Amino acid sequence: MTLSKKFQKYIADHKLATADSRIILTVSGGVDSMVMMHLFVEAGYNVAVAHCNFCLRGEESEEDEQTVEAEARKLGIPHYNRRFDTKGEMARTGESVQMAARRLRYAWFDELCLDEGYDTIAVAHHADDSIETFFINLLRGTGLKGLTGISVLNGKVIRPLLFASRHEIKEYAKHHSIPYREDSSNRSTKYLRNKIRLGIVPRLREIVPQFTSIMSSNVDRLTETQLFINHAIDKIARDAVEHVGREDIIHPDRIDAGFPSHFVIYELMSQNYGFKGDVVDSLCDALKAGATGKRFYSKDWVAYVDRGRIVISRIEENDNCEVEVNLSKTKVYCGGSVIYIEKLDVDTVETLRIPEHIALLDLDTLSEPLTLRKWHDGDRFVPLGMTEEKKVSDFLIDNKVSMAEKSRQFVLTAGDHIVWVVGRRIDNRHKITSHTENVLRLTKETL
């Protein structure tokens, strides 16, 4: 079967598009997306091309843009292009190149769909990309869900090339004389994905020539296993989860003893309430120890142990969301955010000019316990660069923080005073100075 026939069958089998669909094709100029554009046009779908120029590779970026526009014109399909000040966004937000580029492009794609009436966004990930994602997640540590590769469908985003290998796509481009661009950054081993693509995968392919097809089958089976688990967890929840008023109560004693209870609790809490694995681990430790009262948070939910049960409810505006910060951990969740924790030697800190969502604190000036909580009326701190205390309420007013944002504002306390108005300003008494030796770096990211 030709690649074109496989493509059309894959779309039909997975119900990714219909004859009435209006589809934005995200085309970078690389071989994957250029072939995807040709396959969609050949199949007769109603499509348009969207190209992002992140202005990061000088003349290369300009030539990518020109190649995509020229091919779209040749095929007679609408073409949209946007240039981004990616470096400026990175400086403003403190994001990595990948994070900033991802946020910018998907925000623009959503905008295009809304303004121009498109209902689907097609991305040119293929089988090798999905396999690389498997290894990335495996090396970082993950549950089964992280080993299911890249999803075929996520909201309005479709990935219609996941059936095809990189080799098949390049052969199609060669046979049909489709022009494409090689991104020089793909040859760099700076990023984990490229290390896997250029280092690990070729060695595995030497051992097993059919590596791509075998791994694709493995990922498919893992995906089916996850779907089976999802269905099983739904059935378990009917017996083990009780809905009482505005609370959901998980009864571990109602979980069949033949099931691994920790795993079942994790699946119940992650699927339905968005709790992260390490948070569930801590909660299960508390459950096992019979501890009560300590609260555990996801983005929208709070859970606690009560008489051998797990009680879960939505976070209310007046919920203090108080969480102790354990500096031996790498991250802590609170108030719809995750805060990453790093201990550094001062000599490894490259710059003190950082965006507001990152805090650099003199570790040796902090007294425990460290606690994250919502701010209270009467809270005071000494804003960085000042010498006198200021009310947090006045600080927020001066910085034109909206009422909605104020209700979600957190502070980090050490002992009995504030050291960071989270995401906004540290306390001047804990800044890095010429006497600092050890640094605590905290990075806030929204879930």
3-state secondary structure 366-405: CCCCEEEEECCCCCEECECCCCCCEEHHHHHHHCCCCHHH
Token code pair at residue 79: 């073409």
Least confident of 178-192, 240-254, 354-368: 178-192
According to CATH, where is 3.50.40.10 located in the chain?
A: 323-446
Q: pLDDT band at residue 190, thresholds of 50, 70 and 90?
A: low
Report pLDDT digits (tens) over 237-290: 999 999 998 899 999 999 999 999 999 999 999 888 988 888 898 899 989 988
Query: What was the pLDDT predicted at 78?
Result: 97
Report pLDDT digits (tens) over 306-357: 989 999 998 775 566 788 888 888 888 777 778 889 888 888 776 666 777 8
What is the CATH code of the structural domain delimited by 3-219? 3.40.50.620
- Parallel, antiparallel or unpaired: strands 46-53 and 410-414: unpaired
Q: pLDDT band at residue 185, thresholds of 50, 70 and 90?
A: low
Query: What was the pLDDT predicted at 118?
Result: 96
In this model, does residue 149 exceed pLDDT 90? no
In this model, does residue 404 exceed pLDDT 80? no
Report pLDDT digits (tens) over 62-78: 999 999 999 999 999 99
According to CATH, where is 3.40.50.620 located in the chain?
A: 3-219
Percent of the chain predicted with pLDDT > 90: 59
What is the C-alpha separation between 422 and 409, in angstroms, rounded? Answer: 7
- φ/ψ of 388, rounded to 5, equals -110, 150
For residue 293, the SS3 value is coil
Find out if CATH 2.60.40.10 is the number for domain 323-446: no
Query: What was the pLDDT predicted at 97?
Result: 82
Higher pLDDT, 208 or 332: 208
Rounded to the nearest integer, the mean pLDDT of the chain is: 89
Report pLDDT digits (tens) over 79-137: 999 999 998 887 776 677 888 889 999 999 999 999 999 999 999 999 999 999 999 88
Q: Which residues contact 113 (CB under 8 A, 6 or more apart)?
A: 24, 119, 121, 156
Q: pLDDT band at residue 189, thresholds of 50, 70 and 90?
A: low
